Amino acid sequence: MIAPTERAVEVLRRRPHGTWSVGSGCLVSGRLVLTAAHNVLTDGHADDQVCVRRGDRTELAAEVLAADAARDLAVLRVAAHPSLGDVPAVRYARIDRRQTRLVKDCWAIGYPGWNEHPREHTDIPLRDSTQVHGVIPPGSNLLRGLLEFRTTSTPQALAGAGRSQWSGMSGAVVFSDDAQLGAVALGVVTEHHLPHGPSTLTVAPLTGLTVLGEGEPWWWDLDAGSWVDLPRPGGAVQGRTTLHMDLRRAAADFTDRERAIARATALLTDRLADTAPVLVLHGMAGVGKTELATQIAHRLAPTFWHACIQIDLGGEGLEVSTDAAVIQILEAFGLTGDTLPSDARSRRNELQNRL
């Protein structure tokens, strides 16, 4: 696994006249890096010499797989290297522009110009990483289809008229922290528009990746097939105690299923405001489907705070009836003996009232 801070990279490009330009990027899956297209394009064409520098100063040659100047998004593939290790795919998010609630707990790690330090015996200066935090208001930049990242950082402007202190931050991926899913990626920093002030950055939404790469071979490695909608519904109930909990104990040493858990969690919670999602886990007997479902249920308990109930439907040839399943649910709600309705129709009505 890789820590969030280890995903941030510099994107270095040697221009045709020999000088270097510096931008930011993010390892999002395997050897794939997201960045801003203008970090790797000159007059609409990809430069020959592009490389990526990691926080441990490892420099890796990079190939431009796709770059869209209009959307200012680019996908690179870096050369294989032992330092990469296992880089699982990030989760992707899209902003519901119909809402006005702020998307909170946003952050990005990049390499802005004000954190640059000269180095001896090289024409490539060292830019140290900078982590910034802030919010995104969904109602800003609607006509251009861009996002506005209002950071809490206000560094001093660089010397020279019209120079932005955020130069080099372009390409940094903006994340939002989610209570269940962890960090979800929602956009790439593309610009600091000076009239917006020293703390506001323009962000290209990652939904543009669908047009950029869907159907390409590398698209499957990106793992951008499902999206989290932000702002997330039900945020106010986080931390509540589940009222009716009837789950088997989750294994404490459950490992190697984090990606499956994250994907299942997103599928079950992405659109809670307008749907009742159903997730089916399938596979051969004994591969761990029940334990995986138990892990997912425990992690989602604060979201589905009204009730978390596990029903035993039996195995092959031992399926229980619908009414028997209804009885299991009602018993989890505490209805037993005289309090349990005596006929099937009354039991179904009682269940409907409690859901």
pLDDT tens digits for 190-215?
988 777 777 899 999 999 998 888 88
Looking at residue 225, its pLDDT comes to 73
DSSP 190: E
DSSP letter for 89, please: P
User: How many CA atoms within 13 Å lie on the side-chain side of 133?
Assistant: 4
Overall average pLDDT of the 97-103 stretch: 92
Give the distance from CA 38 to its chain's centroid: 23
pLDDT digit string (tens) for 135-156? Answer: 999 999 999 999 999 998 877 6
At residue 236, the pLDDT reads 43
Q: Are strands 182-191 and 32-35 parallel, antiparallel or unpaired?
A: unpaired
What per-residue confidence (pLDDT) applies to 125? 65
Express each pLDDT in 11-53 by its tens digit: 988 876 666 778 999 999 989 999 999 999 876 666 568 999 9
Q: What tokens were used for 69?
A: 């100047």
Phi, psi of 105 (to 5 degrees): 55, 40
Q: For strand 73-78 and strand 32-35, is the pairing parallel, antiparallel, or unpaired?
A: antiparallel
- Give one word for 34, left, alpha or beta, with left for phi > 0 and alpha for psi -120 to 50: beta
d(CA 213, CA 6): 25
Tell me the β-bridge partners of 11: 23, 52
**Lowest-confidence range among 107-121, 181-195, 249-263?**
249-263
CA neighbours closer than 13 Å in the CB half-sphere of residue 257: 19
DSSP helix/strand/coil, 73: strand
End-to-end CA distance of the chain: 39
pLDDT for res 160: 60
- State the amino acid at position 98 in one-letter form: R
235 has pLDDT over 50: no
Mean pLDDT along residues 243-255: 71
E strands along the chain, which residues? 8-14, 20-29, 32-35, 41-42, 45-46, 50-53, 59-68, 73-78, 91-95, 103-110, 116-117, 126-127, 130-136, 147-151, 173-178, 182-191, 200-205, 227-230, 244-246, 307-309
77: pLDDT confidence band, cut at 50, 70 and 90?
A: very high
Length of the chain equals 355
SS3 333: coil
**Max intra-chain CA distance, the chain:** 86
Neighbouring C-beta atoms of residue 196, cutoff 10 Å:
15
**DSSP letter (8 states) at residue 42:** E
pLDDT score of 175 more than 60: yes
The model's pTM is 0.70
Percent of the chain with pLDDT over 90: 32
Report pLDDT for 81. 87
- Are residues 238 and 272 in contact, defined by beta-carbon separation less than 8 angstroms? no
Q: Rounded CA gap, 230 and 94, in Å? A: 6
Q: What pLDDT score was predicted for residue 237?
A: 45
DSSP-assigned states of every residue in 228-295: EEESPTTGGGTTPPPSEEE-PPPPTT--S-HHHHHHHHHHHHTTTTT---------STTSSHHHHHHH
Half-sphere exposure of 61 toward its Cβ, with a 13 Å CA cutoff? 6
